[in-house]
Structure 1
Amino acid sequence: MPKPTKGPRLGGGPAHERLLLANLAASLFTHKSIQTTEAKAKRLRPIAERLITFAKRGDLHARRRVLAVIKDKSVVHELFTQIAPLVADREGGYTRIVKTGFRKGDNAPLAVIELVLEPVTPKAKKAKPAAAAPAEASAEEPAAEEEAEVVETEAAEETEVADEAEAAEAPAEETEAAAEETEAAADEAPAAEEKAE
C-alpha cells in the first residue's frame, strides 16, 4: 500500500483519503462553508486553496486539472465562474478555519472551514513612533548627503561634456564662416572684373 502524505490519516488507504478530501472540497465550493473535524479541515485547506488557484488561472488546462480532483462538472463550473472572480484580487488565504468545540458523541474537535469571499482592502501604513523618527532621520541624513554629492558630481561631469562639445563646435563654426567669406569674395571678384571692363 502506498504511504500517504504526512499528517493525520483520514480513514483507510490513500485512495479513500483522496476521495474523502475531494468530496469535502466539492461540498466546500457548493455550500461556501462546511463543518467537519479539525483534522479533516486542516488537511482540506491546502487542497481547496490549490484548486482555487487553478480556478483563478481560468484556462482549459487548469479546468482539466481541477476536474481530475473533483469529478462533478457543475461544482467545477461554479468554482470557475462564481468563486474565482470573487477571490481574483486575493493573493492567498482563500479559506478560514474556525474551531467550534467538540462533537457530542465521540468528543472529536470540530471546526468550520469556509471560503473567504470578502473583498480585499489594502492595508493602511502604520505611523512610525516619534521616538524612532529622530534615529531614522539621523540615519537618513548621511544617505541624503551622499545622494547630493552624487548629483553634484554628475552635474559637473555633464557641464564638462557640454563645454567640450561647445569647444568642438566653435572651430567648426569658424571654418564655416571662413568658407562663406571666401565664397562671397569669389562671387565679388568676377563682378568687379565686369565693372572694370
Structure 2
Amino acid sequence: MRKQIKQRKFGRKKDQRKALLRGLASDLILRERVQTTLAKAKEIKPEVEKLVTRAAKDDLATARYLASRLSKKAAQKARKELGPKFAGRPGGYLRIIKTDQKRKDGAAKALIEFVKQPPIQQEAQQPQAVVKK
C-alpha cells in the first residue's frame, strides 16, 4: 500500500526527478525568481531554504555540501551573496505567489522568489504638461 508518500513524483524516475529539482534549485538561486508549476515550487521551497541556511556558515564543509546539490555558479552565489544576506533571518527566505494556469494542461503556475528582493524598477511616469486653450 502507498501510505505516507512524502514527495511528489512528477511522472519521472528518481534520477530524472533529482536532476529536475537540482536544476530548478540552481536556477532559483541564480535568478532569485522563477516561474514554474505550483507543485514544483512547493517541492523545491524546503530544499532551497535548507541550502540557504547552510550557506550562512561559510566553511569548506558547506562549500562541498552546496557543490554536491547545486551547479557550480549557484553554489558560489549561495555562499557569497545569499548566505550573508539571510544570515540574521531565522528561515522563511522564499515566498510562493500563485499565478494563472497553464494553457495546455491547466496546471497551476506559481512564482517562487526570495523575500528580500530589490523592487522591480518601473519607468517613472512624468506628469504631462497641461495645455490651456
TM more than 0.5: yes
Within a 5 Å distance, the mapping from 1:62-73 to structure 2 comes to 62-70=62-70, 72-73=71-72
Report deviation, 1:56. 0.7
Residue 7 of structure 1 deviates from its aligned partner by 3.1
Cα RMSD, aligned residues only: 1.3
Q: How many residues align?
A: 113
Q: Which residue of 2 aligns with 1:149?
A: none
Q: Which has the higher strand share?
A: 2
User: Is there any run of 5+ residues in structure 1 with no aligned partner, and where?
Assistant: 119-197
**TM-score (norm: length of structure 1):** 0.55
Aligned-partner residue type, residue 7 of structure 1: Q
| Equivalent residues of 2:97, 2:112 under 8 A apart | yes
Alignment match, 2:38: 38
**1:52-101 per-position Cα deviation (integer Å, ceiling 9, x unaligned):** 0110111110111111111x222211111111111111100011001002
- Asked if 1 retains the 8 angstrom alpha-carbon contact of 2:53 and 2:87, the reply is no
Which structure has more relative contact order (CA 8 Å, sep 6+)? It is 2
Bigger proportion of residues as helix: 1
**What is the CA–CA distance in structure 2 between the aligned matches of 1:45 and 1:100, rounded to whole Å?**
16
Task: Give 2:98's aligned residue.
Answer: 99
Larger radius of gyration: 1
Number of the residue aligned with 1:59: 59
Q: Secondary structure at the match of 2:56?
A: helix
Q: Distance in 2 between matches of 1:46 and 1:82?
A: 19
Structure 2 letter corresponding to 1:49: E
What does 1:10-89 align with in structure 2 at a 5 Å threshold?
10-70=10-70, 72-89=71-88
Alpha-carbon separation, structure 2, partners of 1:110 and 1:9: 17
Under a length normalisation based on structure 2, what TM-score does the superposition of the two structures give?
Answer: 0.80
**SS in structure 2 at match of 1:57:** coil
Distance in 1 between residues matched to 2:60 and 2:10, nearest whole Å: 31
Calculate percent identity across the aligned residue pairs: 35
SS at match of 1:85: helix
AA matched with 1:32: E
Distance in 2 (CA, whole Å) between partners of 1:15 and 1:76 is 20
Q: Distance in 2 between matches of 1:73 and 1:81?
A: 12
